Amino acid sequence: MAPESDSSPLVLGIETSCDETGIALVRGHELLVDVTASSMDDHARFGGIVPEVASRAHLEAFGPTLAAATERAGVDLVDVDAVAVTAGPGLVGSLTVGVGAAKALALALGVPLYGVNHILGHVAVDMLVDGPFPEEFLALVVSGGHSSLLHVRDIATDVLELGQTLDDAGGEAFDKVGRLLGLPYPGGPHVDRLAQTGDREAFAFPRGLSRRKDLAEHAYDFSFSGLKTAVARVVEGYEDADEEVPAADVAASFSEAVADVLVTKTLAAATSRGVDTVVVGGGFSANSRLRELAAERFAAAGVSVRIPPIRYCTDNGAMIAALGSAVVAAGLPPSDLDITIDSGMPLTRVLAVA
């Protein structure tokens, strides 16, 4: 771990943007503890996140999760130097619980509050695993709600958005295909598992925004809704013919199309910008085919790729504490204690100010 870390401020990170209540403590680049409580089991039977249920679950889980984090780290709350919390993007009710709790803690402890961007947290968490970032790198963040390609020179102060999804996010497309294939919610991990037993070349599914005319305007943007429709047509075709759907082959060919587009576009951006490191983050970076294809193709192109272990890819407190730690280290002024949550927080905003 980073030798300078002992003198760095102790940052408490709080994540409540969706269904995970995450609390972590980070000092410099060192993760002291990361505790997560998930309400996913309460949502699964509804086939999607129920915002009201998620908010209530955060309220119930917050106290015990915080207590577990401090106890496991052997840290007293009074030792905390700064509180970082997800200010957005995310579900309004869920964000409100975390930001409210963070304000109360910052006020009670007399320490600064940093309301930070969830998506950039998915990038920052990699510092805890792979150490300080290089001078510049590309970040591919793919989750249930976002797919974005970023050029990062400083995670706290200099992030340029090169492209994003124009419709469904990668994880969202997986969840929808999971539903089409009759798999439990959230479909992403189930489709991934099934895909590992199928033929990736069984179906030639479309690669969104990859034709020459699309590339001119959307070189680094993504679109997965056409792909999802193509999958639906194939599934319907089998169902209409009363034939068994070759679910593993559909899943494998679909996964290949998503991973191929993500890796191809990221690699094109790295080459054209002369950047030799790519950081991959967000819940979807748990996807096995994306990990495989990224490792293969980036290595062949001489681009190094950093992807944190799966437990740090899905939502957690460590990512928020890591970004908070970077923001504190950059010397940015803290957020006002009366900040409001920003459910659509843009990627250009690292920190909620007021």
* Residue 143 interacts with ligand KG4 (CB under 6 A): yes or no: yes
Candidate list 286, 318, 326, 328; residue touching ligand KG4; CB under 6 A = 286
What is the smallest separation between the CB atom of 3 and ligand KG4, expressed in angstroms? 31
What is the smallest separation between the CB atom of 225 and ligand KG4, expressed in angstroms? 15
CA 253 to chain centre: 23
How would you write the chain as a 3-class SS string? CCHHHHHCCEEEEEECCCCEEEEEEEECCEEEEEEEEECHHHHHCCCCCCHHHHHHHHHHHHHHHHHHHHHHHCCCHHHCCEEEEEEECCCHHHHHHHHHHHHHHHHHHCCCEEEEEHHHHHHHCHHHHHCCCCCCEEEEEECCCCEEEEEEEECCCEEEEEEEECCCCHHHHHHHHHHHCCCCCCHHHHHHHHHCCCCCCCCCCCCCCCCHHHHHHHCCCECCHHHHHHHHHHHHHHHHCCCCCCHHHHHHHHHHHHHHHHHHHHHHHHHHHCCCEEEEECHHHHCHHHHHHHHHHHHHCCCEEECCCHHHCCCCHHHHHHHHHHHHHCCCCCECCCCCCCCCCCCCCCEECC
Give the number of residues in contact with ligand KG4, rule: CB under 6 A. Answer: 20
Candidate list 39, 55, 94, 143; residue touching Zn ion; CB under 5 A = 143
**Among 69-77, 139-147, 204-212, 294-302, the segment contacting Zn ion (CB under 5 A):** 139-147
**Among 36-44, 138-146, 176-184, 217-225, the segment contacting Zn ion (CB under 5 A):** 138-146
Subset of 289-318 contacting ligand KG4 (CB under 6 A): 314-315
Nearest one of 74, 73, 66 to 105, comparing CA atoms = 66
Candidate list 192, 221, 249, 256; residue touching ligand KG4; CB under 6 A = 192
What is the smallest separation between the CB atom of 142 and ligand KG4, expressed in angstroms? 8
Q: Which residue's C-beta sits nearest to Zn ion?
A: 143
Q: Cα dihedral sign for 204, 205, 207, 212? A: positive
What is the smallest separation between the CB atom of 247 and Zn ion, expressed in angstroms? 27
What is the smallest separation between the CB atom of 345 and ligand KG4, expressed in angstroms? 12
Structure tokens at 305: 């790729």
**Among 7-15, 50-58, 176-184, 311-319, the segment contacting Zn ion (CB under 5 A):** 311-319
Residue whose CB is less far from ligand KG4, 162 or 286: 286
Residue whose CB is less far from Zn ion, 143 or 164: 143
Residue whose CB is less far from Zn ion, 111 or 139: 139
What is the smallest separation between the CB atom of 316 and Zn ion, expressed in angstroms? 9
Q: Read off the amino acid at residue 262.
A: L
* Residue 227 interacts with ligand KG4 (CB under 6 A): yes or no: no
Q: Counting Cβ atoms within 10 Å, is residue 5 exposed (0-12), middle (13-18) or buried (19+)?
A: middle
Candidate list 20, 192, 256, 315; residue touching Zn ion; CB under 5 A = 315
* Residue 88 interacts with ligand KG4 (CB under 6 A): yes or no: no
Q: Which residue's C-beta sits nearest to ligand KG4?
A: 283
* Residue 284 interacts with ligand KG4 (CB under 6 A): yes or no: yes
* Residue 168 interacts with ligand KG4 (CB under 6 A): yes or no: no
Using CB under 5 A, list all residues that contact Zn ion.
143, 315
Using CB under 6 A, list all residues that contact ligand KG4.
18, 143-145, 171-172, 174-175, 186-189, 192, 282-284, 286-287, 314-315
